[in-house]
């Protein structure tokens, strides 16, 4: 490893370390108190907007209710210190806990809604803010007169009160940024990014979406609560109108979006920039003009940098320093003699039915697959093939019947549990995570689908599957840069990375040209050689006959025929319902 690479790797850590030391020493530098309070406000907005981004930026659930959690934190501290004489510092964890509980409570209700559209979530959180504000206003918590904090003793962390507030705000800010960094680089963050892009697919790849969203909500609300607790001491006098102001959620959103709400450090940049601007104008006596100019800057920023500052810089850096293209390695999978199909049943489907309202999509299907088998599922349009895949993968709950994988009953389990028990699927129309690179798409599937293993091992494995499906050299590309053929193979790479026992392929060949189909057929054989059992839905008869050990014909939600491909396809009953004319093999 050469020196330049060491520097570029360790430079951010050094800068962060120096920054922390410099800001920690600032109050002792003897600057006027004015600076303490200015920097406190920067820390305050950085913490608040970063905490917002944990849920709304990372997972894409856009909240306008951040003032609710922040305000609940403020009033928790105010009530505990003034009415119950609890020491100020001890109230901050309480403020965080109560705000986090509120977040979990709201999440537990709204995340169960069937059709929770983005703007509804935003308005629900906004509405909750108004309700909480009114309750606090009309109960003894505030009572309409506001709460004075002046009698509350401030701990002597620093020589001056403003210095103490500064240190608390700074500590909170570092803690918040560290949390955001940790989330962005953890399994949780990976799951949240996937939820942001496509929640159904995330669940199917093994992300426990409900739990992750609640966790993100709790973290986001809890941090906002703690920030509010500290801020209560800064403002000294709390009023409901000042606390639950609409400008709080709006500024938080604007700051995050300006900096880049999907990056852990984006909100910090936006918050620092906007706070500095506003402060400059306020101290210059032009507060109103300052607000207007901030507004104008935001309009321009959103029009020209819709993803925020940090992503724009990253994009620019990537274009300036294009990664060396390692060239596209054509992977010719080595196909051993087909492994013996063992007698062990890997998938048992018993009397499965699925109704959508009055429509019976599946009417009592029985299937048994043996380990190592390639099983073709065919039938006319609307016969229930994709529904069967969706039921096995847990995307739709069963209406009745049982499904067992490797002897374990999985019917009724949530989709992410089924994914972790070794069932992977692909989508007929590829559904990659649009903002994750090809490599991250596969890493994500490997992380949540396969067994627990080290991060580096997962990366290597993901690269292996990317090469295996012929996508080598495209690791850094975004899915939108791939053609249909490549996106279909990305679907396969994601499914394989989960090391499935059972692989459900939904029309992987449709839309491909003959050469690409040949390539795909070789690939499916190679996948089987790795030991997976494959169910594939396909319309392309050539592939079905070439690949399948057995096929099942579905018609109107019922199993119509089952057996060796050539025999089934010659069955006159099958020909009549499905092909219309004899299939000349």
User: Where along the sequence are the contacts to another protein (CB under 8 A)?
Assistant: 62, 109-110, 113-115, 118-120, 123-124, 126-128, 130-131, 133-135, 137-138, 144, 246, 250, 253-254, 257, 288-289, 291-292, 294-296, 298-299, 302-303, 306
Backbone angles phi, psi at 209, to 5 degrees: -60, -45
3-state secondary structure of 59: coil
Work out how close the CB of 46 gets to another protein at its nearest, in angstroms, rounded to a whole number: 19
3-state secondary structure of 29: helix
Work out how close the CB of 280 gets to another protein at its nearest, in angstroms, rounded to a whole number: 16
Cβ nearer to another protein, comparing 133 with 207: 133
346 Cβ partners below 8 Å, 6+ apart? 369, 370, 371, 373, 405, 406, 501, 502, 533
Cβ nearer to another protein, comparing 288 with 351: 288
Q: What is the DSSP string of 148-206?
A: E-TTSPPP-SSSSHHHHHHHHHHHHHHHHHHHHHHHHTSHHHHHHHHHHH-HHHHHHTT
Work out how close the CB of 296 gets to another protein at its nearest, in angstroms, rounded to a whole number: 6
Cβ nearer to another protein, comparing 67 with 202: 67
Work out how close the CB of 279 gets to another protein at its nearest, in angstroms, rounded to a whole number: 17
Chain-centre distance of CA 220, in angstroms? Answer: 15
Cβ nearer to another protein, comparing 137 with 174: 137
Burial state string for 466-499 with b = 16 or more CB within 10 A and e = fewer than 16: bbbbbbbbbbeebbeebeebbbbbbbbbbbbbbb
Cβ nearer to another protein, comparing 267 with 470: 267
Work out how close the CB of 315 gets to another protein at its nearest, in angstroms, rounded to a whole number: 18
Cβ nearer to another protein, comparing 263 with 416: 263
Cβ nearer to another protein, comparing 133 with 534: 133
Cβ nearer to another protein, comparing 295 with 339: 295
Neighbours of 57 (CB within 10 A): 30
Work out how close the CB of 56 gets to another protein at its nearest, in angstroms, rounded to a whole number: 10
289 Cβ partners below 8 Å, 6+ apart? 281
Distance CA 245, CA 242 (A): 6
Cβ nearer to another protein, comparing 204 with 271: 271
Distance CA 114, CA 163 (A): 49
DSSP at 27: G
Neighbours of 173 (CB within 10 A): 25
Work out how close the CB of 273 gets to another protein at its nearest, in angstroms, rounded to a whole number: 14
Work out how close the CB of 80 gets to another protein at its nearest, in angstroms, rounded to a whole number: 24
Task: Report the DSSP pairing between strands 374-378 and 550-555.
Answer: parallel
Work out how close the CB of 336 gets to another protein at its nearest, in angstroms, rounded to a whole number: 48
Work out how close the CB of 391 gets to another protein at its nearest, in angstroms, rounded to a whole number: 24
Distance CA 392, CA 350 (A): 11
Cβ nearer to another protein, comparing 35 with 62: 62
Distance CA 24, CA 17 (A): 11
Cβ nearer to another protein, comparing 114 with 323: 114
Work out how close the CB of 211 gets to another protein at its nearest, in angstroms, rounded to a whole number: 21
Tokens at 116, concatenated = 């929770």
3-state secondary structure of 26: helix
Cβ nearer to another protein, comparing 353 with 435: 435
CB 252 within 8 A of CB 71: no
Q: What is the DSSP string of 255-310?
A: HHHHH-TTSTTHHHHHHHHHHHHHHHHHHTT-HHHHHHHHHHHHHHHHHH-TT-HH
Beta bridge partners of 368: 348
Distance CA 380, CA 229 (A): 63
Work out how close the CB of 196 gets to another protein at its nearest, in angstroms, rounded to a whole number: 12
Closest CA to 441 of 382, 379, 496: 496
Chain-centre distance of CA 291, in angstroms? Answer: 34
Work out how close the CB of 122 gets to another protein at its nearest, in angstroms, rounded to a whole number: 8
Beta bridge partners of 397: none
Cβ nearer to another protein, comparing 253 with 569: 253
């Amino acid at each position: 490893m050469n020196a330049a690479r060491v520097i570029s790797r360790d430079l951010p850590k050094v800068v962060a370390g120096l920054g922390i030391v410099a800001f920690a020493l600032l109050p002792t530098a003897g600057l006027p108190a004015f600076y303490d309070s200015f920097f406190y406000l920067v820390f305050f907005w950085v913490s608040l907007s970063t905490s917002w981004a944990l849920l709304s930026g990372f997972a894409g659930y856009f909240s306008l209710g951040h003032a609710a959690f922040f305000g609940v934190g403020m009033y928790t501290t105010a009530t505990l210190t003034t009415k119950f004489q609890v020491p100020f510092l001890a109230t901050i964890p309480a403020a965080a806990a109560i705000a986090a509980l509120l977040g979990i409570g709201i999440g537990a209700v709204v995340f169960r809604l069937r059709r929770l559209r983005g703007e509804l979530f935003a308005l629900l959180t906004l509405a909750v803010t108004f309700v909480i504000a009114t309750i606090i206003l009309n109960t003894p918590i505030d009572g309409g007169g506001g709460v004075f904090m002046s009698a509350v003793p401030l701990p002597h962390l620093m020589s001056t009160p403003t210095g103490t507030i500064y240190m608390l705000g700074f500590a909170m800010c570092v803690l918040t940024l560290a949390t955001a960094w940790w989330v962005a680089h953890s399994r949780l963050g990976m799951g949240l990014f996937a939820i942001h892009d496509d929640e159904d697919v995330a669940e199917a790849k093994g992300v426990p979406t409900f739990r992750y969203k609640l966790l993100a909500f709790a973290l986001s609300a809890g941090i906002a609560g703690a920030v509010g607790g500290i801020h209560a001491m800064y403002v000294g006098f709390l009023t409901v109108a000042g606390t639950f102001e609409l400008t709080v959620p709006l500024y938080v959103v604007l700051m995050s979006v300006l900096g880049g709400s999907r990056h852990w450090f984006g909100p910090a940049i936006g918050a620092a920039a906007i706070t500095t601007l506003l402060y400059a104008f306020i101290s210059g006596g032009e507060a109103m003009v300052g607000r207007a100019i901030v507004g104008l800057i935001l309009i321009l920023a959103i029009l020209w940098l819709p993803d925020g500052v940090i992503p724009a810089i990253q994009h620019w850096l990537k274009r300036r320093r294009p990664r060396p293209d390692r060239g596209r390695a054509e992977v010719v999978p080595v196909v051993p003699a087909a492994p013996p199909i063992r007698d062990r049943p890997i998938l048992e489907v018993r009397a499965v039915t699925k109704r959508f309202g009055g429509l019976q999509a599946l009417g009592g299907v029985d299937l048994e697959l043996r380990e190592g088998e390639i099983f073709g599922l065919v039938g006319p349009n609307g016969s229930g093939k994709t529904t069967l895949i969706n039921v096995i993968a847990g995307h739709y709950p069963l209406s009745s019947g049982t499904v067992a994988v490797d002897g374990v009953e999985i019917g009724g389990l949530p989709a992410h549990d089924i994914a972790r028990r070794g069932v992977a699927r692909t989508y007929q129309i590829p559904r990659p995570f649009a903002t994750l690179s090809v490599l991250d798409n596969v890493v994500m599937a490997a992380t949540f689908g396969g067994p627990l293993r080290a991060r580096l091992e997962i990366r290597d494995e993901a690269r292996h599957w990317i090469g295996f499906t012929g996508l080598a050299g495209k690791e850094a590309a975004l899915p939108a840069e791939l053609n249909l053929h490549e996106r279909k193979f990305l679907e396969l790479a994601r499914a394989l990375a989960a090391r499935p026992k059972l692989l459900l392929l939904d029309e992987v060949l449709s839309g491909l040209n003959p050469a690409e189909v040949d390539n795909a057929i070789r690939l499916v054989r190679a996948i089987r050689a790795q030991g997976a059992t494959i169910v594939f839905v396909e319309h392309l008869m050539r592939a079905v006959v070439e690949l399948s050990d057995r096929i099942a014909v579905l018609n109107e939600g019922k199993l119509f025929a089952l057996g060796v491909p050539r025999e089934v396809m010659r069955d006159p009953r099958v020909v009549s319902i499905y092909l219309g004319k004899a299939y000349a093999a």
